[in-house]
Amino acid sequence: MSIIKSVRGFTPKFGLNCYIADNATIIGDVEMGDDCSVWFNAVVRGDVNSIRIGNKVNIQDGAVIHCTFEKTKTEIGNNVSIGHNAIVHGCTLNDNVLVGMGSIVMDNAIVETNSLIAAGAVVLEDTVVESGSIYAGVPAKKVKEISEEQFQTLIERIANNYIEYSKWFSESDENK
């Protein structure tokens, strides 16, 4: 059973049609929009500051979303995919962003709309990831531009896939 926990007077809030995996953990000052999913072993920890998550966001297996006490909040826009084992910490991810598997996005970084963080990349504090770009490496640097059309096709496919996957698990839970 997933852990949904209040802390410091804050209780997580969820929009419509959200799927939370059995062993996901969501704590404190977290607000999530519609059609979101938090997958196995993922942690969304709003104990020290707020976490705001838009619509159609998937937080994949083992990912950690956190922030810094009295310094940085985490804001995640709409149509965002956060890959397996990624860490998103005290930063802003605007709409239509893909954070690749195992990557890290640090405090006060801003990932602009229609951007991709490659698997394993480390986006350092205060970095601004330019819209329409792919950033890769340690530390992450711009490696390529991608058209809005190409990116929206990619991110829409992934976001829609995760809504479909959520339905599979929701349906199997109903059959118990």
pLDDT tens digits, 10-29? 999 999 999 999 999 999 99
Q: Between 127 and 171, where is the model more confident?
A: 127
**Binning pLDDT at 50, 70 and 90, where does residue 174 land?**
low
pLDDT over 80 at 159, yes or no: yes
* Angstrom distances, CA of residue 14 to CA of 56, 112, 173: 12, 24, 18
pLDDT in tens, 26-74: 999 999 999 999 999 999 999 999 999 999 999 999 999 999 998 999 9
Structural domain count, the chain? 1
Which pLDDT does position 173 carry in this prediction?
Answer: 64
pLDDT digits (tens, 9 = 90+) for 106-119: 999 999 999 999 99
Residue 176 predicted with pLDDT over 70:
no
CATH of the domain at 120: 2.160.10.10
pLDDT at 142 over 80: yes
pTM: 0.94
Residues ≥6 apart with Cβ < 8 Å to 115: 94, 96, 97, 98, 129, 130, 131, 132, 133, 134, 135, 151
pLDDT recorded at residue 153: 82
Task: Report residue 148's pLDDT band, with 50, 70 and 90 as the boundaries.
Answer: confident
Give the pLDDT mean for 82-89.
98
Q: Which domain holds residue 143?
A: 3-174
